[in-house]
Amino acid sequence: MTSSETTAGSVRPRPVVDRLPRYAAGKPPVAVDGLASYKLSSNENPLPPIPAVAEAIAAQTDFNRYPDPLTTKLRAALADFLDVPAEDIVTGAGSLGALNQLLTTFAGQNDDGKADEVIYAWRSFEAYPISVGLAGAESVRIPLTPDGRHDLDAMVAAVTVRTKVILLCTPNNPTGPILTAEETERFINAVPSDVVVVIDEAYQEFVRAEDAVDGIRMYRKYPNVVVLRTFSKAHGLAGLRVGYSVSQPELTQYLRVAATPFAVSQIAEQAAVVSLQNFDQVVERVQSLVDERDRVTAGLRELGWFVPEAQGNFVWLNLGENSTEFAQLAGEHALSVRAFGNEGVRVSIGEAEANTRFLELCAIYTKPPQRS
């Protein structure tokens, strides 16, 4: 058959693509007469970047040039901020970009044709199975405990000779609980030292639990630990796509090979640097969202709802088969929330008015969820 005779239907992707779930981004709210609409479906920061960042973005003019592939200024700023060597930082297009670089480096198909295994809790970050599958590896999903936490004992038991990477999401998205320092360290010591343990801390700035794990402390102590962080959430830079990983030289030497060139634009780099320079203002904004999160959580519990420990910028409703019904009802009140099949609903913390309307909706809903 010549190229002119080839039809589009004969072009097929890699077999794994047909087996992967599609990433479902949070939908915008539907307009409702008489109501302001609010998007609570994507864990976005409802507040804009701090003024200094907006000014820095407006001042950028060098878009005709490629960005610095090593994001030298940002890594230097992060090195000072985190008190780590700049050489231990590898940037990416959001923490998801950094994760994809990591999986490409350490998990995939072996020479014997068998796939490496990547273990993670489920449900957790929706992109995990997609990223793992596209890397050529096999997902090993370990169910969460009834209160939405990682079952670390079951995750240890799932380790095999083919396990190459373990993903720990803390706070867990979409359920909210953190991993403690004690249990995480015990877990790291229980798995083989040649398995890469990824501590995904996309929501780290929102954590207020005193016993929460600090990924940077774990990275300093264990050569097989990688920390993922992002500027998308607390810093309000989701649209600029800038994140990073932190790991010791034994790992970064390989991560740099797999890093996507020019993944972080000059506008994203400058915005992130300026946001770090004004981190006190970022903290004030984050605290306002934490206060709203705590108000929402307390309000839900007063209404009789079971809510897992919420340490991110979202809350989880264990609605099960009623998840779609609740999401549709929220839409009728000009609120978009994120339903996950028949498992539950994640609601991002938004503007105060949005949060109040959400609580009012929960007060009239007749099927509050309980711990399963």
Of 299, 308, 318, 313, the residue nearest 362 (C-alpha) = 299
| pLDDT tens track for 265-306 | 999 999 999 999 999 999 999 999 999 999 999 999 999 999
d(CA 296, CA 314): 9
Q: Is the pLDDT of residue 22 over 80?
A: no
User: What integer is the mean pLDDT of 47-71?
Assistant: 94
Contact 145, 309 (CB under 8 A): no
E strands, 69-146, in order:
89-92, 117-122, 138-143
Confidence of residue 367 (pLDDT cuts 50, 70, 90): low
* In contact, 96 and 144? CB cutoff 8 Å: no
Q: Which three-class secondary structure state does DSSP give residue 190?
A: helix
8 Å CB contact between 137 and 115: yes
Q: What is the mean pLDDT of residues 342-348?
A: 97
Lowest model confidence (mean pLDDT) among 122-136, 216-230, 303-317, 354-368? 354-368
Tokens standing for residue 133: 């599958």
What whole-number distance in Å separates Cα of residue 158 and Cα of residue 275?
Answer: 40
Report the share of the chain in percent with pLDDT over 90: 86
Residue 196 has pLDDT above 90, yes or no: yes
Whole-angstrom CA distances from 368 to 140, 342, 362 are 31, 15, 8
CA dist 115 and 142 (Å) reads 18
Which pLDDT tens digit goes with each residue over 80-111? 999 999 999 999 999 999 999 999 999 998 87
User: Would you state the pLDDT for residue 372?
Assistant: 52
Per-residue pLDDT, 368: 64
Peptide bond into 171 cis (omega under 30): yes
The model's confidence at residue 8, banded by pLDDT at 50, 70 and 90, is low
Handedness of CA 208, 213, 215, 216 (dihedral sign): positive
The answer on pLDDT for 351 being more than 50 is yes
The confidence score (pLDDT) of residue 27 equals 76
Residue 245 is encoded by which pair of tokens?
A: 């990983």
Dihedral sign for Cα atoms in the order 28, 31, 32, 38: positive
pLDDT at 111: 79
Give pLDDT, residue 371: 61
Q: What is the chain's Cα-based Rg?
A: 21
What confidence score (pLDDT) does residue 17 get?
A: 75
Angle in degrees, CA 256, 260, 266, rounded to 5: 105
Residues 6+ apart with CB under 8 A from 239: none
Instruction: Write the DSSP symbol of residue 144.
Output: P
Instruction: Indicate if the pLDDT at residue 153 is higher than 70.
Output: yes
Other CB atoms within 10 A of residue 303 CB: 14
pLDDT at 370: 60
Tell me the longest C-alpha to C-alpha distance in the chain: 69
How confident is the model at residue 7, as a pLDDT? 55
Long-range contacts of 299-303 (CB under 8 A, 24+ apart): 299/359, 299/362, 300/359, 300/362, 303/359, 303/362, 303/363, 303/368
C-alpha–C-alpha distance, residues 91 and 229, integer Å: 10
The closest of 354, 363, 362 to 40, measured between CA atoms, is 354
Neighbours of 114 (CB within 10 A): 10
Q: What is the pTM of this model?
A: 0.93
> Do strands 314-317 and 344-348 pair parallel, antiparallel, or not at all (unpaired)?
antiparallel
Please, which pLDDT band fits residue 1 given cuts at 50, 70 and 90?
Answer: very low
The stretch 338-364 carries a mean pLDDT of 97
Does residue 67 have a pLDDT over 70? yes
* pLDDT of 117 higher than 60: yes
Query: Model confidence at 169, in pLDDT bands (50, 70, 90)?
Result: very high
Mean pLDDT of the chain: 94
How far the first Cα of the chain sits from its last, in Å, is 57
Higher per-residue pLDDT: 338 or 22: 338
Positive or negative: CA dihedral 134, 135, 137, 143:
negative
More confident residue, 17 or 175: 175
